[in-house]
Amino acid sequence: DYKGQKLAEQIFQGIILVSAIIGFIYGYITEQFGWTVYIVMAGFALSCLLTLPPWPMYRRNPLKWLPVQELGTEEKKAADRKPKRHSKS
């Protein structure tokens, strides 16, 4: 559903943003760029774990699909006919 997709996107972006800020600050303080990368990668892994599987919290508002309708015999015959070719003027 669309609300679940929006929620997943917000969670994903929030975790990435927070981990990037924390990683940058920690890497700046320790003067180690590697820690920044590790923290951002851990945030990415966490966000993937929380947003990629179809968790029930993302399926609370299912879409209402139209029922399948069988074609009547008249409609089937019309669908089986070849379209007429129009001559060019």
pLDDT in tens, 30-52: 999 999 999 999 999 999 999 99
Please count the structural domains in the chain. 1
pLDDT at 74: 58
pTM of structure: 0.68
| In a domain? residue 40 | yes
Give percent above pLDDT 70 in the chain.
80
| In a domain? residue 74 | no
| In a domain? residue 41 | yes
| In a domain? residue 87 | no
* Whole-angstrom distance, CA of residue 2 vs CA of residue 11: 14
* Whole-angstrom distance, CA of residue 7 vs CA of residue 2: 9
